[in-house]
A = this chain, B = another copy of it.
Amino acid sequence: MSLQLNDIYEPIKDDLAAVEEGLKQVGISDSPWLNELLSYALKGGGKRLRPALAILSAGFYDYNLERVLPLAMSVELMHMATLVHDDTIDNSSVRWGRPTVNKIWGMAKAVLLGDYLFAKSGELTAATENIRCIKLLPQTLMIITNGELAQAASSFKLNQTREHYFFRISCKTAALFVLATESGAVLSQAPEKSIQVIHDYGHSLGVAFQMVDDILDFTATEEEMGKPVGSDLDQGTLTLPAMMLVERYPKDNPVKRLFGGGDKEENITRAIEMVRNSSIIQDCFDIATKYKVRACQDLKLLPDLNAREVLSNLADYIVARRR
């Protein structure tokens, strides 16, 4: 791939280093029980996309790292909290190429660690003392939870429309992107119109990001993903590629068999194979790319500063990535 994340991050690398240092400090609490869990969770292999989005989105008007830093940390901790709870709920064993918190320490501690991370995220956002940002955080968590519940309610169900799919990924992924971008813009005292542009960028980019994630669950290797491929099907989550597979091969269909209670391994392997050997991957990429283009189309309305190009590069990276 031509675009390397480190190269894209170059203009904000000092600020991201401050985020990293801040996150490391979060892992040093008075509680020995917590520190072990926190330092493990915080050392994960995340791409720090959401902090980067917060920093970049704050870069168009009155940029102040001290003001943005707690927000950037907060959105990453909120992200981690949701991952820790997701893995617990799904009983997943591997993420980022290593055992999950629930796998090592069990369900109880994973639930509590997630709760602590939610709280820490709330504390950091409160430290911005910006009421609008403060209100956005819990509203976003409500949207995410609602999306997760929708996903749980629809698992192993075939009768789902594209609207269901886009609703779910808007809730579970795009909402957090919007939190990062909108809050960043708000903290930089951006005018309302620019906040809207950055908000829309976050939403469309979040949708594109999740679509690519859903594609990679079919096309990537376990090493690239850092977790087993086909895990969405394993959880009974009908993503867009799976939906297309059901539509295009209504007769002999491994997704139908799987959701009907058929053999997991056999049907997941077959579904991956069929998706890879069809035009589904390209069709999904085309839709993800449309969202990427939509994300960037109004960036030109923002001041012509470095951050604009970086946001655009980040969007390109997100649809081109292999992990």
Interface, chain A (partner B; CB < 8 A)? 29-31, 33-34, 37, 85, 88-90, 107-109, 111-112, 114-116, 118-123, 126-127, 129, 131, 134-135, 137-139, 141-142, 145-146, 148-150, 152-153
| 5 cross-chain CB contacts under 8 A | A31-B146, A33-B152, A109-B152, A123-B139, A126-B135
| Candidate in A107, A126, A134, A141 with the most chain B CB atoms within 10 angstroms | A126
User: Is the beta-carbon distance between A122 and B138 smaller than 8 angstroms?
Assistant: yes
In the complex, residue of chain B having the shortest beta-carbon distance to the beta carbon of A155: B108
User: Is the beta-carbon distance between A112 and B145 smaller than 8 angstroms?
Assistant: yes
Q: Tell me the number of copies of this protein.
A: 2
User: Is the beta-carbon distance between B131 and A126 smaller than 8 angstroms?
Assistant: yes
In the bound complex, how far is the Cα of B152 from the Cα of A139, in angstroms?
A: 30
| Candidate in A29, A112, A152 with the most chain B CB atoms within 10 angstroms | A112
In the bound complex, how far is the Cα of B111 from the Cα of A111, in angstroms?
A: 7
Cβ–Cβ < 8 Å partners of A138 in chain B: 118-123, 126
User: Is the beta-carbon distance between B126 and A141 smaller than 8 angstroms?
Assistant: no
In the bound complex, how far is the Cα of B135 from the Cα of A122, in angstroms?
A: 8
User: Is the beta-carbon distance between B142 and A116 smaller than 8 angstroms?
Assistant: yes
